[in-house]
C-alpha cells in the first residue's frame, strides 16, 4: 500500500493536533475532515511559519 501524501497545515485551535499557529504535517485526506481545526492553504502555513521566525 502506498504511503498517504502528507501536507503542511496551520493549526487554528489548541487541541489534539497542536497549539494555535503550530505548523504540522498531516495526511492530505484528513484536511477536509479537520476544517476549522487546521488550514492547509499555503498562505496560512507561511503566516504561521513567519510567527515562529519572529521569536
pLDDT at 32: 93
Strand partners, 25: 8
Distance between CA atoms of 4 and 53, rounded to whole angstroms? 29
The structural domains of the chain, with segments of one domain joined by +, span 6-53
Distance of CA 14 to the CA centre of its chain: 12
pTM: 0.86
Q: Does 8 have pLDDT greater than 90?
A: yes
pLDDT tens-digit profile of 36-50? 999 999 999 999 999
| Mean pLDDT over the full length of the chain | 92
pLDDT at 54: 66
Q: Does 33 have pLDDT greater than 70?
A: yes
Amino acid at each position: 500500500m502506498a504511503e498517504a501524501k502528507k501536507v503542511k497545515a496551520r493549526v487554528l485551535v489548541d487541541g489534539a493536533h497542536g497549539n494555535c499557529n503550530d505548523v504540522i504535517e498531516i495526511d492530505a485526506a484528513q484536511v477536509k475532515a479537520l476544517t476549522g481545526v487546521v488550514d492547509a492553504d499555503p498562505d496560512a502555513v507561511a503566516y504561521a511559519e513567519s510567527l515562529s521566525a519572529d521569536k
